[in-house]
């Protein structure tokens, strides 16, 4: 049962992060969701798109992290970690994701605004030209968020595993 709590903590944290993140990025460039994503939702409303994509794009990341964290936190004779003991490190990971995602969005915006990076191919044709810079801003923010989640998740898993041997 304790392992399920860890998994649910990670899913909930990922979904909340995804919804908040997408509330911001949907307002930067709604086309990132309406053109850049498969059309699952028949709306242009940034709030609804942010909620929908915030859930769909993140629940599985939380599930994967939760499963691995449960595996390294609970089994065996070593001291066990509870979901409660993981709230702070998971929250810290989400804070790093938000911070670095925002920084990457700003860098992407600056680079796109100055013509250093640009959209190409079918996406460049599909996205209105006045939305290219905001689209790239969102793209950089989202890619960075996933990358930081991956790297930070691995670091968190290793740290939790090591903490059990030191306890």
Tell how far CA 111 is from the center of its chain: 22
Res 26 pLDDT > 80: yes
- Domains: count for the chain: 1
Choose among 145, 161, 162: nearest CA to 17.
145
pLDDT of residue 91: 98
What does the pLDDT look like over 95-151, one tens digit per residue? 999 999 999 999 999 999 999 999 999 999 999 999 999 999 999 999 999 999 999
Q: Which residue segment(s) compose the domain that 76 sits in?
A: 2-166
What does the pLDDT look like over 33-91, one tens digit per residue? 999 999 999 999 999 999 999 999 999 999 999 999 999 999 888 899 999 999 999 99
Find tokens 């968020």 and name the residue. 145
Is pTM beyond 0.85? Reply is: yes
């Amino acid at each position: 049962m304790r392992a399920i709590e860890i998994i649910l903590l990670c899913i909930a944290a990922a979904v909340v992060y995804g919804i908040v993140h997408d509330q911001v990025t949907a307002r930067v460039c709604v086309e990132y969701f309406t053109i850049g994503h498969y059309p699952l939702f028949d709306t242009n409303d940034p709030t609804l798109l942010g909620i929908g994509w915030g859930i769909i794009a993140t629940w599985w990341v939380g599930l994967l992290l939760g499963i691995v964290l449960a595996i390294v936190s609970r089994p065996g004779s070593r001291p066990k970690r509870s979901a409660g003991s993981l709230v702070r490190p998971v929250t810290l990971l989400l804070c790093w994701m938000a911070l670095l995602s925002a920084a990457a969005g700003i860098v992407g915006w600056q680079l796109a605004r100055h013509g250093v990076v640009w959209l190409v191919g079918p996406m460049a044709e599909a996205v209105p030209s006045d939305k290219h810079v905001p689209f790239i801003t969102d793209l950089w923010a989202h890619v960075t968020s996933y990358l930081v989640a991956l790297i930070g998740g691995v670091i968190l898993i290793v740290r939790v595993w090591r903490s059990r041997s030191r306890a």
